[in-house]
Each structure stands twice: as structure tokens, then as C-alpha cells.
């Protein structure tokens, strides 16, 4: 796997599988998505950074300084072809450094640069304007042509391909449209027309637009950052009204590849993501048709990633990497055969035993079928006409997608959980008698009536399995703005709605559910509340494509391993079913005790025993610290308590109820067992709300105010979490665990990474929580903090408890004291003759003395007799001393398991 894959996994936001809030939408919408196959293992290039000043702007005479990096292969006997590599919005030349190195390893000269308005480059952001960003790139082509090591087709004409993702992808298209020196392009996950991208069917895509336009900082105008004044004014206007005026439409069109497609002569490989609520497959479709109309060679590749889905599963990366390398090598370097077909696509097919992740099946077709497919299937849906309310200003709104998350939000919300009661109509098919392979844009006919004559609705297509679980493919929905509507549904005429293109297998026995909603948080909706009447015609049309499977040895091998794995898993499941222990019954005598752990043991098949015998209890009002060296068994104990692993024997009871996965009693337990992860463009409060909604419990039960008061975040909870310090994020994570004020709170290293003031505040947070009969169990390696925070401690070593009880009892009588003396040096000499075991200076006027059984009175009397003043005698034993005395140096030190 190339370095770019790793970078994309950092850059593209993903949802944690275990937590409802997870990090990370970033402002870099996407770096280049291309990685490279069959690379040499050693780097064989040099890289040179320099600031290049070029003349650009409408007149071509405005100087602009661009921060560049030029990669050149070391071992070349002749001039080499070049690649101009553009970064994604919000990125810099560093964003694509891994890609550039990989391309240079293939024998290309590579020029990367930071676009104007970003990083160290000068100028303002003009959104890939032909007068600015595109003209900048033309001047870089001039620079490449002047390099003695770069191959040229003619004087001033370098042999060059242009590659870029998202913002960089549009630049590749625009540059090829205005400069015929470009020999081939590979635009990825990019747009065709910014107007249709941000106003699909005339409805403003406010969430993505806000993230896109709100991601630039710096500049003299705080409202505009480093955006050019006309771009900033256009955004502020459309964000206020929800509609583009003529000037805004003209500006967006000028920055759109749609304006130059008929002039592109460079062979074009369009790679577009199937999980992309920003630039869906329809954008690549429009680009492909516009370029192919003039006879230019075009190939289209759909993959199972995008702005919301990252770089896709590894098996899909294998396919797209090979496509990209093949395209550049043939059309720029002049090596290898041309592709034999013009369309490839993939869909998620299962899980990989090798990668432990999703795998995809790839398919090809000799010609690109567009979004209508090569065939279609009609599905019947039923449902009476329904009245649905459109709230004022779309508030409250349904939730189908969030920028950078869209495709994964459906699973978080439980499918249609994002559709609000009274604000959506539902129409459903009967179970499918055979599976349907959807590849393209489904369509449905609506009839809508509105007392105002207009309506804005959002149409969604769910795949519903036999258990009722719903999936909204890619988080994709169709916004629709309708005018000229009648007041009564009987007079409404059918309107065909084309939904976003998807690639999905809908299995036999599943149903298709059409949902028509009146609001969505991702879009701008009318200010005036009203009520629509909605009906759906009984036929939903889904396009299909019968592609040729792509032979991929890696995929074939993975499926062989998967088959082996399934056999193994089946055996394990059967063994568990045959040997599992009976679930413990409720124990009434512990009904008022937050936690009882009874003789836990966890042994592994290789003979390793992580926990030998652990038993303790957590009572109401207690803050209990779970302590132990690495390998002691404390982490395994927490995993058992959280249901992440099953014990070999023993059990745990919460208020007398057995603590097993899925037990109802878990609703009384709050936990933080992983580092906090939150959506950075949402406020802390919004993150907590999304988390609580995912639990399926009423908002009224969350008790937000109380949890937030205990966590002590104040007004900061309404700030975006991307601006939080580490300490604030940790406290927000604690607040999340506290939602609903569970009776038992289990925290793993809650002070991890905090500075001393933050640790002190966390100490107060935990103490405040353990009131009103609640209890806390906390694992920590900071013994001094446990001593000051916890009322009780449980010390584990080698899988067994070596001490348990009140912290004061564990600390016990002190074997050492701290002495405040007038003369440290003289006192040390006196004490050396008294038989004490250790004398350690502690500052200018104190000594730490290990008494070794010597009475304190004798020590003080000897010092006074020698004329040394003594103003302090204080016991010195700490929890750390007791801990070390209990576990010694016999810990395994091999890490918990």
C-alpha cells in the first residue's frame, strides 16, 4: 500500500465503528486520490523546493509567487515525461508529496505547487478561475518546458500529464480545455458545473457550501479569509437567500469544466466516487459526455469511495491504481497498450480475510452506458397519498448526510432514523423475488400538492433487509424544487425524479422503500411553514449494467482465504454454542450495588492467562481506581466489563443484573474506553445530540444540562470541536459518557494527554459525579492522581488482586518522612549515623528520610541536639510507594492482552 493511502486515511473523515461520534471531517476536501501500482522499492529521485514567480491574472501581467517542488528521477539517460500534480481544496504541495514521490519513482518529472491563496503561495482564491489558477498552471507548463531534463514535443511544449483530485481535478480539466499542450489528464472526484453541484435541482447544498467556502483563514477581511472579493460576495449572497443571482451563476460557471469540455483534446480518465454527496457520479457523467462529444478519448471509472467514503477498500484501490498507471504510461510516456474498454465500476462484495476489511468486485464494459445503465428493472411500490409538514426554515430538519460522512451516516442513524415524524412520507415495495444489481440513477414519479403552489422535497431510496434494517446508499438523496403545483393531490401531475446514481446489489427478500421528506440539514429549505400532500406512482425504475468481471488475482486469493475463514468461524461459533456457559441469573441481594466483579478469569488458547482471579466491588458514592503494571490484567478486566471480550469464568453484575453484551442494564452504564472522536465542524452540543440520538432513547432522557455542568465546559460546548483543546475534547468525551447520568461510569485513562490544570479539573469532575448514589470506576497509570481523586483502589498484578480497599488503608503507615531542616548538609551527616536507610535532599531546606525502623523522636532529638532546627516532620509514604511495595519489580512488562 502506497504512502498516499495512509495520507488519505488521515485526511478523509470516517466514522468510528464503536462510537457514535468520531473524528474527523477536515477542511481539505480531498487530496489527489491516485496511488500507483508496481513501484520500485527505492527512491530514485531528487526534490527541489523553490518559489517561482509567474505573470498571471486577466491581463497576464500580474506577478504571483507560487510555492513549488520539482521531483526529477536520478537515473535517466534521456529526457523524461512530466506530470503536473495539483492538490485538493485547502491543501498544499505537501498534501500530494507522497503521490509525487511515487510518480517520480515511475520515471516521471513531477511538479507540485501550492495553489494561490493557500500556504506560502501568494494571491487570493478564485475557485479555479481561467484568469487566475488556470493561468498560473499554464505558466508552470512554460517552466516545465524550459527544464533541460523534461521531454518536449516542440519548443515550449512539454510532454505532460495533469493529475488532481477534487479542486485539483477541476483544474486538470480546465487546463486541458485552454491549453492544448496537455497530453493526458486524470481528474478525480471533481465537478462539472459548480452551479449544479451546489444547487442540484435548484436547492442550495448549504452544508457542503459552508464547509467549502468557510475553510479559508487569513487575509484582511475576516469574513472572506483569502477568498477573492467576488467569490466571497457570491457565497454570502447565496447562503443568505438560498438562490444564486445572475452574477453568482456567471462566476460559478466560469470556474466550471462544463465551459471548456468541447475544447479538451487530451485523453481523459475520469475517476469518480460512488460515496460522494459533494460531487456525485452525475458530475463525472456530464464531463464524460461533454468531452466524448468532440471525439476525444474518454474512460470512466467508478469506485467505492469519494468525499464521504475515502479511498475505498484496498481491493478497489488495487484496481484504480492500475487504471491510472496504465493511462499515464500509455498516453504520456508512450508505453503499454491502451485500455480495451471505456468503463469500469465496482461494488462492495464482502469482507477480506487478508485485510480484515471490505473487498470489492470490479467490472468492465466496452462502452460507457451513462447513468441510465444498459438495462432496467421496474419495482412496484405501494402507499396512499400522505400529508407531510414542511417546518419553517427547515427547522427541525431530517439528517441524511454530513459533509465528509454522508455514506456512513445511515448506519449511524439506523437508516431512516434521520427522517422526522410528520415530515416524511413512506412508500414500499414487496420483497424482491430475485436480487437486482443497480448501477446508475433510479427514477420515481411523484405527485405533489401544495397550498403555496411550490414545494421543496427530498427523495430517498432505501434498501431494507428482512429484519427492517435500512440503508441509504452513499447517503445520497435527490432534492427537488417544484412550482406550479395545485392545492389538491387529485389535480397534481406526475413529475419524474431522477435520484443520484448508485452501485448496489439489492438482495432477494429485501424491499425498496421510497421516502419523501420536507427537510434536510444538508440543504436550504423555505422559510414559510406549510403542509404538502405527496403520492408516488407505483413503479420505481432502477438501471442495471451487466459488466464483465475483472480478473484480479488478489481478489480471487482473498475470496479463497475468506472461504477458509468462514469454515473456521463456523467451527468457532459451533464450539461456542455447544460449550457456552449459562447466563448468570439476577442476584437480588446486589440490586443496590453498582458493580460486583466475581472471580473473573480470562485464559487464551495459547495458554496465556491474562486474568487469573479478579474480584472486587464498586459501591455507591465511590470513585474506584483500577491500578496495575503493564500486563497485570486491568485492561482485560475493563474489556470484559464492557462486553468486548468474554471471560473464561466468573462474571460481573451491575445492580444485580449480569453484565453481558446487549443486556438492558447497560443503559445504566456510561463508558469511555477509547480516545474521544468528534465531528470537527459540529459544536460540542451537536456532537452530543447526534450521539444520544443514535442510542434510540428520547432526548429528554439525556439530561444534557446536568452532564455538561458536571463536565464544566460552560459556553464552550456551543463552539465547533475543531477549535477545542485536547483537554476540552477529553471533557466533552466525559460529558458524552455521562449523558443520561448513568449510575455507573467506567473510564479508561480519562486524564490521558491532559496538562496539570486540566488534570486537576478532571479530578473535580469525577468527584462531582460520584454523588447522589452514583459510582465511578477509573483505570489510570497516574498514581498521584488516583490518590487524590479516588476514594478506593484495586491493585492488580499478574492477573490477581493484591490489594483492595480505601486508598488511605492501602497507603498505610509511612516508612519515610519529609523533614524541614535549617541546614540540609549538616542534617544529612547526623542522620547518616543513626542507621536510617536513605537520606535524599528535597529542595533547599527539606530531606526525604527512609526511617528503616528508627523512631521519629530519636531522629528529631538527634538533630536538635546537634543545633539543627527542625520545623517539619511529615509522613512521606504515597500511593506510589504502596503500589511499588505491592507489585515490586515482578510485573510481566509484556503489555496487557
- Indicate which CATH number applies to the domain containing 733: 3.40.50.300
Cα torsion angle, 220, 225, 230, 236, sign: negative
Say whether pLDDT at 272 is over 90: yes
Distance from C-alpha of 500 to C-alpha of 483, rounded to nearest angstrom: 21
| Span of 320-329, 439-448, 806-815 with lowest mean pLDDT | 806-815
Say whether pLDDT at 880 is over 80: no
CA dihedral 50, 51, 55, 57 (to 10 degrees): 120
Predicted local distance difference test score (pLDDT) of residue 216 = 61
| Span of 413-427, 607-621, 793-807 with lowest mean pLDDT | 413-427
The three three-digit cell numbers of residue 173, written as one number: 480539466
Same domain, 730 and 802: yes
Say whether pLDDT at 32 is over 80: no
**Residue of 370, 362, 391, 544 whose CA lies nearest to 457:** 391
Which residues touch 809 (CB under 8 Å, ≥6 apart)? none
Question: Which residue would you say has higher pLDDT here, 7 or 150?
Answer: 150
Do 135 and 56 form a contact (C-beta atoms < 8 A)?
yes
Burial class of 80 by CB neighbour count within 10 A (0 to 12, 13 to 18, 19+): buried
Same domain, 322 and 223: no
Same domain, 764 and 828: no
Say whether pLDDT at 123 is over 60: yes
Distance from C-alpha of 231 to C-alpha of 55, rounded to nearest angstrom: 21
Burial class of 341 by CB neighbour count within 10 A (0 to 12, 13 to 18, 19+): middle
Q: Residue 576 in 3-state DSSP? A: helix
Distance from C-alpha of 345 to C-alpha of 530, rounded to nearest angstrom: 42
Say whether pLDDT at 821 is over 50: yes
State the chain's mean pLDDT as an integer. 81
Same domain, 641 and 741: yes
Distance from C-alpha of 590 to C-alpha of 603, rounded to nearest angstrom: 27
Last residue of a domain, one of 757, 788, 808: 808
Q: Give how many domains the chain has, as a whole number.
A: 6
Say whether pLDDT at 504 is over 50: yes
Residue 25: in which H helix or E strand, if any?
Answer: none
Do 32 and 165 form a contact (C-beta atoms < 8 A)?
yes
In a domain, 895, yes or no: no
| Span of 475-479, 554-558, 660-664 with lowest mean pLDDT | 554-558
Give me the count of residues in the chain: 897
Predicted local distance difference test score (pLDDT) of residue 570 = 45
In a domain, 180, yes or no: yes
Across residues 800-808, what is the average pLDDT? 81
Within a 10 A sphere around the Cβ of 488, how many other Cβ atoms? Answer: 10
Question: Which residue would you say has higher pLDDT here, 691 or 122?
Answer: 122
Write out the E strands in 172-327: 184-188, 268-273, 298-303
**Residue of 128, 12, 724, 740 whose CA lies nearest to 403:** 12
| Span of 348-362, 463-477, 483-497 with lowest mean pLDDT | 348-362
Distance from C-alpha of 286 to C-alpha of 680, rounded to nearest angstrom: 32
Same domain, 678 and 708: yes
**Residue of 215, 93, 214, 267 whose CA lies nearest to 164:** 93
Q: How confident is the model at residue 151 (pLDDT cuts 50, 70, 90)?
A: very high
Say whether pLDDT at 826 is over 70: yes
- Peptide bond just before 396 cis, omega within 30 deg: yes
Last residue of a domain, one of 369, 399, 423: 369
In a domain, 769, yes or no: yes
Predicted local distance difference test score (pLDDT) of residue 322 = 82
Predicted local distance difference test score (pLDDT) of residue 222 = 75
Predicted local distance difference test score (pLDDT) of residue 553 = 36
Cα torsion angle, 94, 311, 273, 36, sign: positive
The three three-digit cell numbers of residue 392, written as one number: 419553517
Helix axis angle for 756-769 and 726-738, nearest 10°, is 10
Rg of the Cα atoms in the chain: 33
CA atoms within 13 A of residue 127's CA, in its CB half-sphere: 26
Across residues 740-765, what is the average pLDDT? 77
CATH number of the domain at 837, please.
Answer: 3.30.70.100
Across residues 247-252, what is the average pLDDT? 93
Predicted local distance difference test score (pLDDT) of residue 784 = 67
Strands 775-779 and 744-748: parallel
Say whether pLDDT at 469 is over 60: yes
Say whether pLDDT at 46 is over 60: yes
Burial class of 330 by CB neighbour count within 10 A (0 to 12, 13 to 18, 19+): middle
pLDDT in tens, 529-585: 999 999 999 999 999 998 888 754 343 333 333 443 444 444 444 444 443 444 456
Same domain, 204 and 287: no
Say whether pLDDT at 6 is over 60: no
Same domain, 360 and 505: no
Say whether pLDDT at 717 is over 90: no
Predicted local distance difference test score (pLDDT) of residue 673 = 66
Across residues 40-66, what is the average pLDDT? 87
Distance from C-alpha of 575 to C-alpha of 553, rounded to nearest angstrom: 33
In a domain, 648, yes or no: yes
In a domain, 735, yes or no: yes
Q: How confident is the model at residue 22 (pLDDT cuts 50, 70, 90)?
A: very low
Cα torsion angle, 231, 234, 239, 240, sign: positive
Do 156 and 112 form a contact (C-beta atoms < 8 A)?
no
Same domain, 649 and 659: yes
Say whether pLDDT at 685 is over 70: yes
Predicted local distance difference test score (pLDDT) of residue 98 = 80
Same domain, 658 and 526: no
CA dihedral 260, 262, 266, 268 (to 10 degrees): 90
Q: How confident is the model at residue 758 (pLDDT cuts 50, 70, 90)?
A: low
Question: Which residue would you say has higher pLDDT here, 310 or 534?
Answer: 534
Give the helix ranges, DSSP H, for 588-703: 634-641, 684-694
Predicted local distance difference test score (pLDDT) of residue 403 = 76
Same domain, 509 and 438: yes
Same domain, 863 and 735: no
pLDDT in tens, 698-716: 888 888 888 787 777 777 8
In a domain, 514, yes or no: yes
Last residue of a domain, one of 316, 334, 369: 369
Domain extent for 520: 376-544
Within a 10 A sphere around the Cβ of 586, how many other Cβ atoms? Answer: 12
In a domain, 883, yes or no: no
In a domain, 881, yes or no: no
Predicted local distance difference test score (pLDDT) of residue 31 = 32
Across residues 365-380, what is the average pLDDT? 93
Same domain, 698 and 667: yes
Predicted local distance difference test score (pLDDT) of residue 830 = 86
Across residues 276-295, what is the average pLDDT? 96
- Peptide bond just before 854 cis, omega within 30 deg: no
Amino acid at each position: 500500500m502506497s504512502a498516499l493511502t495512509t495520507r488519505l486515511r488521515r485526511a478523509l473523515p470516517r466514522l468510528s465503528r464503536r462510537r457514535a461520534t468520531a473524528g474527523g471531517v477536515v477542511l481539505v476536501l480531498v487530496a489527489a486520490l491516485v496511488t500507483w501500482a508496481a513501484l520500485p522499492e527505492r527512491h530514485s529521485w531528487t526534490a527541489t523546493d523553490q518559489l517561482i514567480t509567474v505573470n498571471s491574472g486577466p491581463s497576464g501581467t500580474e506577478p504571483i509567487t507560487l510555492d513549488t517542488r520539482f521531483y526529477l528521477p536520478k537515473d535517466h539517460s534521456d529526457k523524461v515525461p512530466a506530470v503536473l500534480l495539483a492538490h485538493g481544496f485547502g491543501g498544499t504541495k505537501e498534501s500530494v508529496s507522497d503521490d509525487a514521490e511515487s510518480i517520480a519513482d515511475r520515471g516521471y518529472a513531477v511538479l507540485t505547487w501550492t495553489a494561490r491563496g493557500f500556504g506560502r503561495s501568494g494571491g487570493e482564491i478564485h475557485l479555479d478561475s481561467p484568469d487566475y489558477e488556470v493561468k498560473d498552471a499554464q505558466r508552470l507548463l512554460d517552466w516545465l518546458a524550459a527544464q533541460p531534463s523534461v521531454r518536449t514535443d516542440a519548443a515550449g511544449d512539454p510532454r505532460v500529464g495533469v493529475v488532481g483530485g477534487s479542486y485539483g481535478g477541476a483544474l486538470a480539466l480546465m487546463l486541458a480545455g485552454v491549453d492544448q499542450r496537455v497530453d493526458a489528464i486524470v481528474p478525480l472526484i471533481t465537478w462539472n458545473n459548480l452551479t449544479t453541484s451546489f444547487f442540484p435541482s435548484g436547492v442550495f447544498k448549504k452544508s457542503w457550501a459552508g464547509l467549502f467556502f468557510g475553510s479559508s483563514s487569513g487575509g484582511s477581511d475576516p469574513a472572506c479569509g483569502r477568498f477573492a472579493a467576488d467569490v466571497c460576495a457570491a457565497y454570502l449572497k447565496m447562503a443568505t437567500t438560498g438562490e444564486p443571482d445572475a452574477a453568482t451563476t456567471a462566476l460559478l460557471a466560469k470556474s466550471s469544466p462544463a465551459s471548456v469540455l468541447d475544447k479538451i483534446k487530451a485523453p481523459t480518465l475520469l475517476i469518480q466516487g460512488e460515496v460522494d454527496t459533494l460531487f456525485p457520479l452525475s458530475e463525472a457523467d456530464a464531463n464524460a459526455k461533454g468531452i466524448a462529444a468532440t471525439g476525444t478519448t474518454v474512460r470512466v471509472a467508478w469506485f467505492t469511495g469519494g468525499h464521504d467514503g475515502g479511498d475505498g477498500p484496498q481491493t478497489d484501490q488495487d484496481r484504480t491504481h492500475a487504471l491510472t498507471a496504465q493511462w499515464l504510461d500509455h498516453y504520456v510516456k508512450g508505453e503499454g497498450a491502451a485500455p480495451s474498454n471505456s468503463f469500469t465500476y465496482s461494488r462492495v462484495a464482502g469482507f477480506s480475510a487478508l485485510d480484515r476489511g471490505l473487498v470489492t468486485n470490479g467490472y468492465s464494459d466496452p462502452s460507457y452506458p451513462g447513468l441510465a445503465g444498459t438495462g432496467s428493472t421496474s419495482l412496484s411500490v405501494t402507499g396512499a397519498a400522505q400529508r407531510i409538514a414542511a417546518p419553517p426554515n427547515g427547522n427541525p430538519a431530517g439528517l441524511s448526510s454530513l459533509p465528509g460522512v454522508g455514506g456512513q451516516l445511515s448506519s449511524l442513524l439506523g437508516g431512516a432514523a434521520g427522517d422526522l415524524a410528520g415530515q416524511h412520507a413512506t412508500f414500499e415495495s414487496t420483497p424482491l423475488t430475485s436480487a437486482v444489481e443497480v448501477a446508475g440513477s433510479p427514477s420515481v414519479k411523484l405527485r405533489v400538492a401544495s397550498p403555496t403552489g411550490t414545494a421543496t422535497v427530498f427523495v430517498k431510496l432505501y434498501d431494507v433487509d428482512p429484519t427492517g434494517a435500512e440503508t441509504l446508499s452513499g447517503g445520497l438523496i435527490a432534492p427537488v424544487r417544484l412550482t406550479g403545483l395545485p392545492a389538491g393531490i387529485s389535480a397534481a401531475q406526475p413529475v419524474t425524479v431522477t435520484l443520484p446514481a448508485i452501485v448496489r446489489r439489492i438482495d432477494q427478500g429485501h424491499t425498496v422503500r421510497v421516502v419523501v421528506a420536507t427537510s434536510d440539514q444538508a440543504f436550504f429549505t423555505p422559510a414559510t411553514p406549510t403542509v404538502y400532500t405527496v403520492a408516488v406512482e407505483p413503479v420505481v425504475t432502477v438501471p442495471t449494467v451487466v459488466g464483465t468481471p475483472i480478473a484480479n488475482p488478489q481478489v480471487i486469493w482473498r475470496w479463497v482465504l475468506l472461504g477458509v475463514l468462514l469454515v473456521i468461524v463456523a467451527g468457532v461459533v459451533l464450539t461456542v454454542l455447544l460449550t457456552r456457559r449459562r447466563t448468570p441469573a439476577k442476584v437480588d441481594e446486589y440490586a443496590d450495588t453498582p458493580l460486583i466483579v466475581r472471580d473473573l478469569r480470562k485464559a487464551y488458547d495459547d495458554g496465556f492467562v491474562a486474568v487469573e482471579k479478579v474480584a472486587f466491588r464498586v459501591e455507591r458514592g465511590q470513585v474506584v481506581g483500577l491500578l496495575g503494571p503493564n500486563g497485570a490484567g486491568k485492561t482485560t478486566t475493563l474489556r470484559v466489563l464492557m462486553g468486548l471480550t468474554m471471560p473464561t469464568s466468573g462474571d460481573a453484575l451491575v445492580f444485580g443484573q449480569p453484565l453481558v453484551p446487549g443486556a438492558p442494564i447497560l443503559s445504566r452504564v456510561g463508558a469511555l474506553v477509547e480516545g474521544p472522536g468528534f465531528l470537527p465542524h459540529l459544536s460540542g452540543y451537536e456532537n452530543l445530540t447526534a450521539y444520544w440520538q443514535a442510542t434510540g432513547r428520547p432526548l429528554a432522557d439525556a439530561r444534557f444540562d446536568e452532564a455538561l455542568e458536571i463536565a464544566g465546559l460552560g459556553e464552550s460546548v456551543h463552539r465547533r470541536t475543531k477549535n477545542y483543546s485536547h483537554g476540552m475534547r477529553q471533557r466533552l468525551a466525559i460529558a458524552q459518557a455521562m449523558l443520561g447520568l448513568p449510575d455507573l461510569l467506567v473510564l479508561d485513562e480519562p486524564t490521558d494527554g491532559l496538562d496539570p490544570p486540566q488534570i486537576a479539573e478532571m479530578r473535580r469532575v469525577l468527584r462531582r459525579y460520584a454523588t447522589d448514589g452514583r459510582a465511578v470506576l477509573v483505570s489510570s497509570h497516574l498514581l498521584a492522581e488516583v490518590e487524590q481523586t479516588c476514594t478506593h483502589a484495586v491493585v492488580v498484578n499478574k492477573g490477581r488482586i493484591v490489594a483492595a480497599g480505601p486508598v488511605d488503608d492501602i497507603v498505610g503507615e509511612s516508612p519515610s518522612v519529609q523533614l524541614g531542616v535549617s541546614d540540609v548538609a549538616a542534617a544529612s551527616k547526623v542522620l547518616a549515623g543513626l542507621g536510617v536507610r536513605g537520606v535524599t535532599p528535597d529542595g533547599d531546606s527539606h530531606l526525604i528520610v527512609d526511617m528503616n525502623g528508627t523512631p521519629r523522636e530519636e531522629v528529631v532529638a538527634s538533630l536538635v541536639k546537634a543545633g539543627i532546627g527542625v520545623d517539619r516532620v511529615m509522613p512521606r509514604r504515597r500511593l506510589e510507594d504502596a503500589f511499588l511495595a505491592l507489585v515490586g519489580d515482578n510485573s510481566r512488562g509484556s503489555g496487557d492482552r
